[in-house]
Structure 1
Amino acid sequence: MKRLFLCLVLVGMFGRAWAGPGSSLPPTDTARLRQHLQFLTTTPQPRNYQHPVVLDSVARYIQRCLRAAGAQEIGEQPYAVNGQTYRNVLGSFGPANGPRIIIGAHYDVCGEQPGADDNGTGVAALLELARQLGQLPTLPFRIDLVAYTLEEPPFFRTPHMGSYVHAASLRAAGVPVRGMVALEMLGYFDDRRHSQHYPFEPLKFIYGSRGNYVTVAQKFGNGRFGRRFARHYRSVAALPVKRFKAPAWLSGIDFSDHLNYWHFGYPAVLLTDTAFYRNRSYHETTDTLARLDMRRLGLAVDALLATLMGGQ
């Protein structure tokens, strides 16, 4: 009840109504992002597959916050792995019928670490986007927000990934999907020269050596959705954005939940701060809230909302 009350209070304190066309969209609230991250990084044990009770507590928190934000449909997608039940959490906004856009982020971590950037920032962004969507009087299409379990090793690239389970269920049900956006590490920035690295180092001459941007990454042949999303996101963002397109085999291009939507034929993109190519605390105990940039994380979420409302 305390956490539900916290979600409701935060919506009341920081929510701003959207008056309709011509008005500004509800802005991201960085205090709310921080509140979500504080919860995610201070669980009794790390939120990994070896602590299913902790994962369940995080799933309940996400459900409560989606409910407080006004999601029309809230549910779980439980499934069993090695005799243990894990669950995705889903919330939808907008019209019940018609093609939908999937926005997803995984809430588990790798090993015994707090996982502030990986992937606390993706989950915090997802929940803040939910609050913003809940304030809009109408949406042009359905948007499904999905918090995935079991993205991290030892389940990465297996059918046990929560995103694989979700994407497979959409395909089995014949659900039309316009596209998918994976939110994966969005809060670490470094303005120093040579702070940004690449799978192919000469790319620094194209994209720069400073880790001060977010990127929209996708594979070749990803379709119209990916092109439009990347172009629009870059045009509305108030922080630097790089558009990165590469063959699917390039290291890092598929290192998140979007790869499973590719597997089932859905267009999907990755929105990220480039993970371990910049953040040297990736999968380390030093991946803490203190290292994150709340202002730029907020700008990344603002651009995501503006892109979704820009006619994707």
Structure 2
Amino acid sequence: MNFKNITKPAASKIIIVAGLIFIAVFCFAADSGNRPVQKSPVPADINLVKSHLTALTQTPEFRNHKNIDQLNAIADYIKQDFSKYGDSTTFQEYDVEGKIYKNVITSFGTEHQKRIIIGAHYDVCGDQQGADDNATGVTALLELARMLKDQKLNYRIDLVAYTLEEPPYFRTENMGSHIHAQYLKDNNIDVYGMASVEMIGYFKDEKDSQSYPLGVLSWVYGNKGDFITLVKKFGAGDFVNNFRTQFKEANQIKTETFTAPKFIKGTDFSDHLNYWKFGYSALMITDTSFFRNKNYHETTDTVETLDLPRMTKVIDGIFLSLIHMK
């Protein structure tokens, strides 16, 4: 590139983007360090994880927006399991084009006013099983419900299984997470923050198994898809910073933090975007989705492709973060 021919506005833009890339790389890289592995008082159960994944993916019809009966059956499954453990469990129902869709919510530590939202969507994109996207996230909620029962907590914790995260409703007000976040805002509910659990089961140790929204990141982190990522924006807020600290301290699995502006591809590709919209501190917990898992939105996204031992460690990390949250 001939920099002499670049206009001042263009040069300024290049400098800004380069600066953002540098900051993103620095924030991502600055997380490294050796810590002892915390022992969970109630570890995630790999057999239950596999059982839930199977129940969510091996269904008569695909759990997409067209198959309302199948979505309702999955919502019933989630509610039935939540009800075994939560202080209270309920549907949040809403109408889209004459059809009733349901979020499923269970709560712990209801004696506290300030609450934390841990959410994951249970619908899929098109005609596919959606094992990683996002049966893994919903399975995490189901296991967290079991693990959180009778735990001493410093915050109320709401586990929320959302509907209609996928196209054609993505980025619309019909997303289950938009409905939920809007409800919190309209009712002046005291929310500390939110974490979206979005694809947490796909890991690879082979070279070239990981790509990035910014190619320069591979210079720092290598090209192996062997880590979980905490995705946050600049000025993420107290909850996100606290959660990140607790998750890193738990040291259950190799973890990186990616801090970037929302225009970086993939940064807001999940339910946390609606909590950002309403001003809440929120982040995404992810295996980086299509930057690693080439089964994304394909019929090949099946349970057999997942790394269940590492997935259970992600769940342990979330659980330990919640019970140690200050």
TM-score (norm 2): 0.87
Q: Which residue of 1 aligns with 2:48?
A: 32
Contact 1:95 1:140 in 2 (8 A): no
Q: Which residue of 1 aligns with 2:128?
A: 113
Map 1:69-218 onto structure 2 (within 5 A): 70-136=85-151, 138-218=152-232
1:207 CA drift (Å): 2.2
1:238 CA drift (Å): 2.1
Residue 246 (1) aligns with residue 246 (2) = no
Q: CA RMSD in A?
A: 1.2
Identity %, equivalent residues: 47
1:228 CA drift (Å): 1.9
Contact 2:200 2:287 in 1 (8 A): yes
Does the residue aligned with 2:79 lie in a helix, a strand or coil? helix
Cα deviation code 1:53-111 (max 9, x no counterpart): 0000000000000012x201111111111111101000000133411000000000000
Residue 228 (1) aligns with residue 247 (2) = no
Does the residue aligned with 2:207 lie in a helix, a strand or coil? coil
1:206 CA drift (Å): 1.9
Does the residue aligned with 1:201 lie in a helix, a strand or coil? coil
Q: Which residue of 1 aligns with 2:69?
A: 53
Cα deviation code 1:181-206 (max 9, x no counterpart): 00000000000111001111111112
Letter in 2 for 1:310: H
1:223 CA drift (Å): 1.0
1:23 CA drift (Å): 8.4
Q: Which residue of 2 aligns with 1:41?
A: 57
Letter in 1 for 2:176: G
Letter in 2 for 1:39: A
Cα deviation code 1:234-257 (max 9, x no counterpart): 221221000110011111000000
Residue 274 (1) aligns with residue 288 (2) = yes
Cα deviation code 1:135-167 (max 9, x no counterpart): 42x222100000000000000000000000000
- In structure 2, the CA distance between the partners of 1:277 and 1:179, relative to structure 1 (3 Å rule), is same
Distance (Å, rounded) in 1 between the aligned partners of 2:39 and 2:227: 27
Residue 297 (1) aligns with residue 311 (2) = yes
State which structure, 1 or 2, has the greater radius of gyration over its C-alpha atoms: 2
Q: Which residue of 2 aligns with 1:7?
A: none
Contact 1:237 1:300 in 2 (8 A): no
Does the residue aligned with 1:197 lie in a helix, a strand or coil? coil
Distance (Å, rounded) in 1 between the aligned partners of 2:172 and 2:40: 42
Distance (Å, rounded) in 1 between the aligned partners of 2:113 and 2:83: 22
Distance (Å, rounded) in 2 between the aligned partners of 1:310 and 1:120: 26
Distance (Å, rounded) in 1 between the aligned partners of 2:244 and 2:219: 21
Contact 1:237 1:299 in 2 (8 A): no
Q: Which residue of 2 aligns with 1:66?
A: 82
Distance (Å, rounded) in 2 between the aligned partners of 1:93 and 1:135: 9
Q: Which residue of 2 aligns with 1:6?
A: none
The count of corresponding residues between Structure 1 and Structure 2 is: 289
Which aligned segments of 4 or more residues in structure 1 are displaced greater than 2 angstroms?
Answer: none
- In structure 2, the CA distance between the partners of 1:173 and 1:209, relative to structure 1 (3 Å rule), is same
Contact 1:150 1:161 in 2 (8 A): yes
Gaps of 5+ in 1: 1-21
Contact 2:130 2:297 in 1 (8 A): yes
Gaps of 5+ in 2: 1-37
1:283 to 297, 309, 312: 297
1:230 CA drift (Å): 1.4
1:227 CA drift (Å): 1.6
